[in-house]
A = this chain, B = another copy of it.
Amino acid sequence: MSSYKIAVIPGDGIGKEVIPEGIRVLEAAAASAGVKLSFTHFDWSCETYHQTGRMMPVDGLEQLRGFDAIFLGAVGFPGVPDHLSLWGLLLPIRRAFNQYVNLRPVRLFEGLQSPLANKKPGDIDFYVVRENVEGEYSAIGGIQYEGTDEEVVLQQSVFTRKGTDRILRYAFELAQSRDKKHLSSATKSNGLFHSMPYWDKRFADMAEDYPEVKTDQFHIDIFTANLVRMPEYYDVIVGSNLFGDILSDLGPACTGTIAIAPSANINPEKEFPSMFEPVHGSAPDIAGQNIANPLGTVWAAAMMMQHLGNQTMHDQIMAAMEAVIREGKALTRDMGGTASTQELGQALVDQI
């Protein structure tokens, strides 16, 4: 009987409401698949920060290292500046465990209403492959002449050949494996003089290794416009840390609700645990009301099982999710229903 040790970090806000539903669904699927899952909870969050001045203990990363995977809710809450909470918890995990691939599927499900006119299931079905450990997300930089009218703030982006090539390679391989074999790169080489021309060059060079893959590139401004105008055009999208972040929020918004979107922070070499979370944040505006949509977390749970090698559990969870959305009976408010977080979780468990 295969068994997996999962570190669970519910985090802040609705993270604490959706993670229990993800676990219920995982347990139901595990029971039916004869898999043993053991969950270890870590209450690291902005509350921890208020008590201890840290988002996680000094040896937090060490505590996580031995797990098979990390299952995370959301990080960040009013009261702690976002750069302190995120650079204190989520971002260090991505980096310490070399989760350099952030894989985010975007799909319009049967039963959900796209805010785009005349889009039906099948019209939106792509992957965002996001670089996850370098690029624009950086704590390098600082402020000069602080507190005076002369303040200058520098913010450094860092792109390496190794970091750029490995994410592009992952995206090319994914595109190659798909029917459409179409890879679109997000750039902004007309404005960002060094980083993006470099990105474009590595993309063009690597394209030569994949003659079957159809490639194109779009500046990030027109890319966002295109996602709204013609989402059906895209198959696999590759972007830097920032551009991938943007496109993987906008994409799900075009499928009716960003709350269903999952985010897999993957260390493809499996030297370290990978981390699975919903794309959405802690949503302070609806936290505590028990109306948060747990489907992003549930889809992330499915991706976690796939990453751990259990395709059966992945497929079972996805089938349950598709069925429940199609039936439309236990949907949360953001999907046009009235169900609570738990009722939707229960509907998934019943389905499984």
Query: Which chain A residues have a beta carbon within 8 Å of chain B's beta carbons?
Result: 76, 81-83, 85-87, 91, 113-118, 136-143, 148-162, 188-198, 219-222, 224-226, 228-229, 241-242, 245-246, 248-250, 252-254, 258, 281
CB distance from A234 to the nearest CB of B (A): 15
Residues on the B chain within 8 Å of A82, using CB: 189-190, 197, 219
Known: A152-B160, A158-B154. A249 touches B229 (CB 8 A): no
Q: How far is the CA of A252 from the CA of B224 in the complex (A)?
A: 11
Knowing A139-B193, A194-B143, A194-B155, the reply to whether A228 touches B246 (Cβ < 8 A) is no
Whether the pair B137, A149 counts as a contact (CB closer than 8 A) is no
Residues on B with beta carbons closer than 8 Å to the beta carbon of A143: 194, 198
Question: 9 closest Cβ contacts across the A-B interface?
Answer: A225-B253, A155-B195, A151-B161, A221-B249, A82-B190, A141-B194, A139-B193, A224-B250, A155-B157
Residues on B with beta carbons closer than 8 Å to the beta carbon of A226: 253
Residues of B within 8 A of A114 (CB): 117
How many copies of this chain does one complex carry? 2
30 contacts across the A-B interface (CB closer than 8 A): A76-B190, A82-B190, A82-B219, A83-B193, A87-B193, A115-B117, A116-B228, A138-B192, A138-B193, A139-B194, A141-B194, A141-B195, A143-B194, A148-B161, A151-B160, A152-B158, A152-B159, A152-B161, A154-B156, A155-B156, A155-B157, A156-B157, A188-B242, A191-B242, A220-B242, A221-B245, A228-B228, A228-B250, A229-B253, A246-B246
- Chain B contacts for A219, CB-based, 8 A: 82
Chain B residues with CB under 8 A of A148: 161
Q: How far is the CA of A229 from the CA of B197 in the complex (A)?
A: 32
Cβ-defined contact, B225 with A258, below 8 A: yes
Q: Which residues of B contact A221 (CB under 8 A)?
A: 245-246, 248-250
- Of all chain B residues, the one with the shortest Cβ separation from A141 is B194
* CB of A95, distance to nearest CB on chain B (Å): 12
> B193 touching A141 by the CB < 8 A rule?
yes
In Å, the complex CA distance between A193 and B87 comes to 8
Among residues of B, the one whose C-beta sits closest to the C-beta of A139 is B193
